[in-house]
Amino acid sequence: MRTRKGQFLLVTLLSLALLIWSSWAFQSDELLADDEEFGLEGGRSPDLDLIVPTRSAPSQPTRRRHSDPDSDSKVQFPLDHAFGDSDFSPAGTFSARLKTWSHGGQTLTKLRFSREAFTEMEKEKFKKLLENDDFYRIRVPSNVLSPPGRDHIVSSVKARCLPGDHLDEHFVIHMEGVNILAINYGSPGACPYPRQLKLPAKWSFNSRTVLKSSEQAPRTPAFAEEILGGENVDGEAVPPPERSFWAKYWMYLIPLGLIVMNAMTQAMNMPEEQASGQPGSQTQQTGAAVQRGQTASARRG
């Protein structure tokens, strides 16, 4: 990374034409993804001032050969910040590769961010924001090639959301070609409400940046014919799995079994009851007879 940066520096110092050549040379060996996310430990980078801003780089890089589909160049755009209602002042620089596609579209890749640390005065201002639970605001140009474009893209966050161990910040930049639509700025994690007043342990930034472009909408399913043809196949292909007799009818079998068992026990008891029922009535009768006998005897007596 460092060597490449160094080379870049060298080349930009040499000439514009060479810049194109060199960047072409770099581009060959790597696959460029659209969404790249990487953090950068903050702090004023010493060589920042040395980077020659490539804003003047050709906005439409020359197309060289027919066989070569894409080309890229380097762009930079500033990040400004404001404390509450104060005016905006520079706070950092985004640098990225501008990739020109063969069909004419341009996209940014390999976004890099160098954040300037707070000066003492800014620290005081930020502390004041923390006390008042006020907004920390940032802005970027809406067009990276001709800043500020139509208007600045502004985003704000409650200052109390940022301090952690460091000042943790998270940028999601929504791009459309070379235009920035929106920048979502905030803490990388949660910012629970009510927000507590908390000073950062270290006054350095821990920044993460993500570039996002539009997703493609899924296509409407078009399978009218498939359905017509596929209906029969489906019916044949997925026959209902054959289940055992027990698995299918257990819910009927168990009650049936219970009923049968119940009936059996009843049938077992029945003869006994009948057998014992007969003597019972006899005893009663005899008892009654005894009573009658007694009463009769009593009368007699």
Cβ 160 to another protein shortest distance, Å: 9
Q: How far is the CB of 77 from another protein (least distance, A)?
A: 14
Does 164 contact another protein by CB under 8 A? no
Tokens of 20: 């194109």
Site string for another protein, 77-116 (x = CB under 8 A): --------x-------------------------------
Show the binding pattern over residues 15-34: x = contacts another protein (CB under 8 A), - = does not: --------------------
Cβ 227 to another protein shortest distance, Å = 8
Shortest separation between residue 85's beta carbon and another protein, angstroms: 6
Note whether 191 binds another protein by CB under 8 A.
yes
Binding flag, residue 172, another protein (CB under 8 A): yes
State the DSSP string of 184-208.
EEE-SS--PSSPPP---SSSSEEEE
d(C-alpha 68, C-alpha 273), whole Å: 105
Dig out the tokens for 262 from the structure.
């119940």
Q: How far is CA 223 from CA 51, 71, 203, 235, in A?
A: 56, 40, 59, 17
Q: Which of 41, 131, 151, 273 binds another protein (CB under 8 A)?
A: 151
Contact between residue 61 and residue 20 where contact means Cβ atoms under 8 Å apart: yes
Q: Which residues contact 72 (CB under 8 A, 6 or more apart)?
A: 23, 27, 61, 97, 98, 99, 100, 109
From 26-34, 96-104, 186-194, 197-205, span contacting another protein (CB under 8 A): 186-194
Q: How far is the CB of 46 from another protein (least distance, A)?
A: 31
Q: Which residues pair with 39 in a beta bridge?
A: 208
Q: Is 165 helix (H, G, I), strand (E, B) or coil?
A: coil
Shortest Cβ distance from residue 161 to another protein (Å)? Answer: 5
Q: How many residues interact with another protein (rule CB under 8 A)?
A: 51
Sequence-ordered list of residues with C-beta below 8 angstroms from that of 199, at least 6 positions apart, any chain: 127, 130, 163
Residue selected from 130, 145, 161, 211 as contacting another protein according to rule CB under 8 A: 161
CA–chain centroid gap for 174, Å, is 16
* Residue bearing tokens 């003047």: 56
User: Is residue 182 within the footprint of another protein (CB under 8 A)?
Assistant: yes
Which of 206, 199, 43 has its CA nearest to residue 119?
A: 43
Selected from 10, 14, 48, 181, the binder of another protein by CB under 8 A is 181
Judged by beta carbon, residue 70 or residue 133, the one nearer another protein is 133
Interaction of residue 245 with another protein, rule CB under 8 A? no
Q: Tell me which residue has tokens 């870049």.
A: 8
**Is residue 221 involved in binding another protein (CB under 8 A)?**
yes
Q: Is 249 in the site for another protein (CB under 8 A)?
A: no
Helix (H, G, I), strand (E, B) or coil at 75: strand
CB 190, CB 226: distance < 8 Å: no
User: What does the binding site for another protein look like in residue numbers (CB under 8 A)?
Assistant: 85, 133, 135, 137, 142-143, 149-158, 161, 170, 172, 174, 176-177, 179-182, 184, 186-195, 212, 214-224, 227, 234
